[in-house]
Amino acid sequence: MYMDELIRHTGVVLSADGETARVQIVQTSACQACKARSMCVSSESRELSDVVCQISEPMQAGDQVEVEVRERLAWKAVVIAYIVPFVVMMVVLAGLNVLTDWSEAVTGTLSLCSIALYYIVLSFFKNKLQKQFSFSARKV
């Protein structure tokens, strides 16, 4: 798989104005192909997410669209959202264990607080990140 491939999901336009549209994406899972899905509670739930997409053609509420994002941006999001906070937590935990005589409860709590601090700092860059992670939509 090439890193410049597109990840695509279908969705429905909730609202559109000029160059952007708010699209609701229905996440599908492996449950759809499962033979036991009729007896499974989790197969009945479907995750919905709203994204703001760049559009190049006029759209209106209710239009079926395909939302696209570059795969490398998806991997970048995974790194920022999951891998970096994990590394921060582990570095803080290891650093506190080596440099201090504090109990494991204190160092564990502080390492978890470092994740909260990471996400707070990350929230200050929300607008910049939203510009980097752009979705596009086109009619189906």
For the ranges 27-41, 102-116, 119-133, the lowest mean pLDDT is seen at 27-41
Our CA angle for 12, 15, 18, nearest 5°, is 120
What is the Cα–Cα distance from 131 to 37, expressed in whole angstroms?
A: 39
| pLDDT for position 30 | 57
Question: 76-104, pLDDT tens digit by residue?
Answer: 999 999 999 999 999 999 999 999 999 99
What is the Cα–Cα distance from 51 to 20, expressed in whole angstroms?
A: 10
| pLDDT for position 1 | 47
Question: 22-61, pLDDT tens digit by residue?
Answer: 999 876 665 565 655 555 544 444 666 888 899 989 999 9
pLDDT tier for residue 5 given thresholds of 50, 70 and 90: confident
